[in-house]
Chains A and B, each alone.
Chain A
Amino acid sequence: QRRLHILQSTNSLPATTAMAMDLDEPLAAEKGEVALQQLRRADPSVYLSPSADLAAAARAALKHFHSSLAVVSPVQPPPLPNLLAGPNFDAEQIWSQSELLSRPLLPHLHRQLRRLEHQPPAQPLATPPPSKPSEAVEGPSDEEEDGEGDESEEEDEGGLEDTDDELESEEGEDEETEELGAKKGNGVEDRFLKMKDLEKFMEEGEEQEYGGGSKGGEKKKASVNLMEDDSDEEDVDEDDGGDDEDDDLDLEDFESDDEEGVGKSGGDIRYEDFFEESSKQQVKKRNGFTKKVHFKDELHEMEVDDIEKDDVNDGPALEDEQGLSTHEKGLLKMRNQIDLMEKASLEPSKWIMQGEVDASRRPKNSALEVDLDFEHNVRPAPVITEEVTASLEEMIKKRIAEGHFDDVEKPSTLPYKVPKQQKEMDENKSKKGLAEQYEDEFKEKTGIAPATLAISDELKNEANDLFKRICLKLDALSHFHFAPKPVIEDMSIQVNIPALAMEEVAPVAVSDAAMLAPEEVFEGKGDIKEDVELTQAERKRRRANKKRRYAESHKERPAKLRKENSSNI
């Protein structure tokens, strides 16, 4: 706004100066410088109010800027080589002109700045980094030296530190080699690794492989470098070379390199060209933590950038942690995991995984903490709910209503022993005389007469008699139809002795009829024969009968033996 302000105020800029500026470059440059100085020296308060001098100075300065930038612009020839900043031109117009030039230039310059940040200069800077336009001015001079396009310019601008040795200017190289020579020893050397020895070995190897003129070194690096070289030389603004870096390791590349060269002959290619990165990396490391981060960003940038191919070979080649690709990082992680798992398998496993474990084999109370899961084969204990109680009570009520209890039963009243016979004392005078009683006892003792029934109850007998009499009468009612005469058991002793032996009290008429009948004396059938009198047949018959009777009575005998007997017969 201030600028606008200033510009607007200037109306009285002489036309001559404008013309002069167009034609005479060095003069204009001088004037521009002067104008700049003037602007700088002016008091800030002066800027508050419009002044013609300042306005003129501003325009001159702007013209100078524009012309100097026009040289550096990426698009050549620039669309507007000189700023038309005459007094007639509005602030707006001048602004748009400068923007036309500066707009494409800005990102370019941003990149250069960033590169400067990342790569601090190896050489001590003789002069403080000049302002961009002045650098741009110096740029063309270097360009001519290297005979390259804008890239070398960038590199110079970006700083004197380059990852790619071949693209550097020889001046830089010389200085760097001196520096690196000092630093190499510190960073890389060990008691095992001596740089000089390594160099010697490498040279020998190279001589063997390729004959004189060391070209070798790390193939990868070489190819990468070579590819870049090619691309650089062929296409200034294209990004093909950068992408092909790792894929093609053809000898063609080596040859091409050999032919075209980078501005050096074959034999001038040195270890430093390939291996300088290691020392540089060390240097970078020393400069602080931030470098690592920046380096990664650079890698990203590389993919995006068309022009920058310098940092490509750094990434995959180096074995630092910073330098791993995503794939390699993943591999490393997996490796770590695998190591962990292997360690775990080698150790004795936790007690949970050990099958049957006693209390002695596991730590105290550890079974309480673990969530053990096993099938419970037992039915769970019943929970007494309302429903359960209700169902029980229902069943109970039903039983009460039926009167069906499971009480202990009273024992059965079957006598275990025969009840003792209680003899009633008969108060009446006994009918039998004393002598008769003694007779009865004697008979019992001697066994002539069987003992009478113990239970000889007179009442019972009387009742029996009466009952039989009644039955007889009833049968008479039915005309004695198939009614046998009831047997009135009258126990009287029939002794087979002649009546004369009896006592006088016997009845008047004595007869044999009261005595035992012959069949009562003797039981048997037909002709009783002694064994002597028997015929053969009769003897056989007797034997057969006997056997039959025997067989019947001994039926427990096993069937086999019985059969044998029968078969024998």
Chain B
Amino acid sequence: MLRRNTRLRREYLYRKSLEGKERQHYEKKRRVREALEEGKPIPTELRNEELALRREIDLDDQDRAVPRSIIDDEYAGATLREPKILLTTSRNPSAPLTQFVKELKVVFPNSQRMNRGGQVISEIVESCRSHEITDLILVHEHRGQPDGLIVCHLPLGPTAYFGLLNVVTRHDIKDRKAMGKMSEAYPHLILDNFTTKTGERTANIMKHLFPVPKPESKRLITFANRDDYISFRHHIYEKHGGPKSIDLKEVGPRFELRLYQIKRGTVDQSEAQNEFVLRPYMNTAKKQKSLGV
């Protein structure tokens, strides 16, 4: 297990170093391809290599046409397997927090909730790896109000740290009976306004928490980015026949997420590299929109 991990890590670093070269190569091929398609003369700097490149282009298939960044390599095999999530809290959670975590368990399909007890984070991560869990979610609180969410993708995956705001739980809503039962089908996803690289990375992380849904599923989860605050909404929709009317019924908790850190390693690797860190005390903090437009 240990040797495998070290080998994987070395591979990863090697691929990271190659990434630059590969990208150049890919760029060249792309340019040649474009020139050929449009019938324009090939750029002069590529004339010598043009023949070799052309041969390679012919051999390229769909999979290899787009250069794969190592960034999302963690999710390369994610689509093959369904995600398996473990939910847990910080130590000594209060009652409202445990309720909230129970709600989240219903929101994420294929998820399990675990009592934290007195376990150490590294222990938890090790046990998750051995049980082939793909994602670990930790929820933190402040005086009963949930205020932190940590999403950790497990085999060497990235960790995203969110702050929670404006949390409204299903328990808060008095008239729960009226809401009825919540469908437990695999939900559709809407990820709105994640345009920057960091935004797309975040979108990827959140996307791969959910399995592939059936096309006719009526359940819908939305992550909408407005001004660097991601709104989480959970709806059940109904399409009534003719006049394009869609009935949305809100179900499940609603909260705002605020991303403040993405780390390249797992939760227990505190020395891992930071992909993204929120800097709110800079003078230009007001102008910065790191997740989207």
Which A residues are within 8 Å of any B CB, using their own CB? 377-379, 381-384, 388, 392-393, 395-397, 399-401, 405-412, 414, 555, 559
Contact = CB atoms under 8 A, between A and B. Distances in A.
Interface in B136-167: 165-166
Nearest to A397: B246
A414 B62 contact: yes
Contacts of A411: 79-80
A392 B224 contact: yes
A393 B254 CA distance: 13
A400 B213 contact: no
Contacts of B229: 381-382
Contacts of B211: 408
B212 interface: yes
Interface stretch (B20-28, B31-39, B280-288): B280-288
Contact of B256 (A381, A395, A396, A408): A381
Given A384-B256, A397-B246, A401-B246, A412 B62 contact: yes
A548 B112 CA distance: 70
Given A377-B286, A400-B237, A401-B246, A410 B166 contact: no
Contact of B285 (A378, A383, A407, A559): A378
A377 B283 contact: yes
Given A395-B224, A396-B233, A412-B62, A406 B79 contact: no
Nearest to B246: A397
Interface in B163-222: 165-166, 188-192, 203, 207-208, 210-213, 220, 222
B121 interface: no
Interface of B: 48, 61-63, 78-80, 165-166, 188-192, 203, 207-208, 210-213, 220, 222, 224, 226-229, 231, 233, 235, 237, 239, 244, 246, 248, 254, 256, 258, 280-286
Shortest 8 CB-CB contacts between residues of A and residues of B: A377-B285, A411-B79, A406-B191, A405-B188, A378-B280, A397-B246, A406-B189, A408-B212
Contact of B286 (A378, A392, A409, A555): A378
B232 to A, nearest CB: 11
B189 A405 contact: yes
Contact of A397 (B80, B248, B282, B283): B248
B189 A400 contact: no
A252 to B, nearest CB: 79
Nearest to A405: B188
Given A384-B166, A406-B203, A393 B248 contact: yes
B193 to A, nearest CB: 9
A382 B227 CA distance: 9
28 contacts: A377-B280, A377-B283, A377-B285, A378-B281, A379-B227, A381-B165, A381-B166, A381-B256, A381-B258, A382-B227, A383-B166, A392-B231, A392-B233, A395-B224, A396-B235, A400-B237, A400-B239, A405-B189, A405-B190, A408-B78, A408-B207, A408-B210, A409-B79, A411-B80, A412-B62, A412-B63, A555-B48, A559-B48
A9 B82 CA distance: 137
Contacts of B203: 406
A384 B208 CA distance: 27
A396 B219 CA distance: 12
B72 to A, nearest CB: 13
Given A377-B280, A379-B227, A406-B203, A396 B212 contact: no
Contact of B212 (A382, A401, A407): A407
A114 to B, nearest CB: 76
A383 B166 CA distance: 8
Contact of A408 (B79, B165, B231, B280): B79
Nearest to A375: B283
Contacts of B237: 396-397, 400
A401 B244 contact: yes
A397 B244 CA distance: 10
A396 B282 contact: no
Nearest to B81: A411
B79 A410 contact: yes
A369 B235 CA distance: 46
Please indicate which of the listed interface residues A384, A397, A408 has the most CB atoms of chain B within 10 Å of its own CB.
A408
B280 A396 contact: no
B233 to A, nearest CB: 6
A410 B79 CA distance: 6
Given A378-B286, A401-B246, A407 B189 contact: yes
A407 B211 CA distance: 8
A414 B63 contact: yes
A410 B212 contact: yes
Nearest to B209: A408
A377 B282 CA distance: 7
B62 to A, nearest CB: 7
A409 B226 contact: no
Please indicate which of the listed interface residues A397, A401, A409, A412 has the most CB atoms of chain B within 10 Å of its own CB.
A397
Given A377-B286, A381-B258, 6 more contacts: A381-B256, A396-B233, A396-B248, A406-B207, A408-B210, A410-B79
Contacts of A388: 226, 231
Contacts of B284: 377
A159 to B, nearest CB: 83
B26 to A, nearest CB: 19
Contacts of A393: 248
Nearest to B61: A414
Contacts of B231: 384, 388, 392
